Amino acid sequence: MEQYAKTDYVGIDYGMRTSNINIENDIRYGVIPHHDVGSAWYDEAESHYGDPTCPHCGQMLEEMDEDVHAEFKVEPDAQFSEFACENCELIIDEERVYPDEPLSWFVKNDEYEAEQTGEVDIFIFKSPYFTYAQLCSPCAPGACYLPSPLFIPDINNKCYCLGPEWFEDEQPPYPVYSIKTNQPI
């Protein structure tokens, strides 16, 4: 276990027992920088662009219905669209309803739920694995920072983590335990 940069400092628990934690099983969300994870994250993650919104007023768009939206104007230079803005009474060009860059990247399957927002951190919301790590408050109150695993496990710091298959040479920067067995894998 010498490969892990462990700590004996559990971090500050601000008492927010509903923030960044699965309240059904008291397992905290894990947070890890995307560059600490292997190329599997880039291979598996899908982009999320959010809901289609009107570029003029910001309102969420409706799917276009020719009967309902027959009187709406078509946005100038619109090539093709499945969206209509009720507020502006416009048919909006499909290329303009989503941002140019994704809002986040995510993985959601039978085993994992994780999302990378911004440019740095991946939040793990569901996993078949857990570890014990330092709380990462105040930046993500209630979550645990996976690159700072605990030297002595603390049940209050039990958090979801990614399994070995997500890392180069299957070597995560923390010890990994099975949720099913509660044992190290």
The percent of residues above 90 in pLDDT, for the chain, comes to 66
With tokens 């509903």, the residue in question is: 18
Q: What residues form DSSP beta bridges with 46?
A: 106
Read off the pLDDT of residues 17-51 as tens digits, 9 standing for 90 and up: 678 999 899 999 999 999 999 899 999 999 999 99
DSSP assignment of 63-124: EP-TTTSTTSEEPTT----SEEETTTTEEEPGGGSS-SS-SEEEEESSS-EEEEETTSEEEE
Q: Indicate whether 139 pLDDT > 50.
A: yes
Rounded mean pLDDT of the chain?
Answer: 90
Q: What is the CA radius of gyration of the chain?
A: 21
Backbone φ and ψ for 133, nearest 5 degrees, come out as -140, 165
Average pLDDT of span 81-103: 89
Alpha helices in the chain (DSSP H): 40-44
Q: What is the separation, in whole angstroms, between the first and last Cα of the chain?
A: 12
Contact between residue 127 and residue 161 where contact means Cβ atoms under 8 Å apart:
yes
| Residue 153, preceding peptide bond in cis (omega within 30° of 0) | no
Do the beta carbons of residue 145 and residue 114 sit within 8 Å? no
Tell me, what amino acid is at 169?
D
Q: Find the Cα–Cα–Cα–Cα dihedral 138, 143, 149, 150, rounded to 10°.
A: 80
- Altogether, the residues listed in the chain come to a count of 185
Instruction: Name the band, by pLDDT with cuts 50, 70 and 90, for residue 4.
Output: low
What confidence tier does 118 reach under pLDDT thresholds 50, 70, 90? Answer: confident
Where do the structural domains in the chain lie, given as residue ranges?
21-47+102-178, 51-98
**Residue 4 identity (one-letter amino acid):** Y
Q: What is the pLDDT of residue 70?
A: 84
Question: Pairing state of beta strands 158-160 and 129-135?
Answer: antiparallel
Average pLDDT value for residue range 162-168:
96
Tokens of residue 152, six digits: 């002595």
Q: Over range 58-81, report the average pLDDT.
A: 84
Q: What is the pLDDT of residue 93?
A: 86
pTM listed for this prediction:
0.83
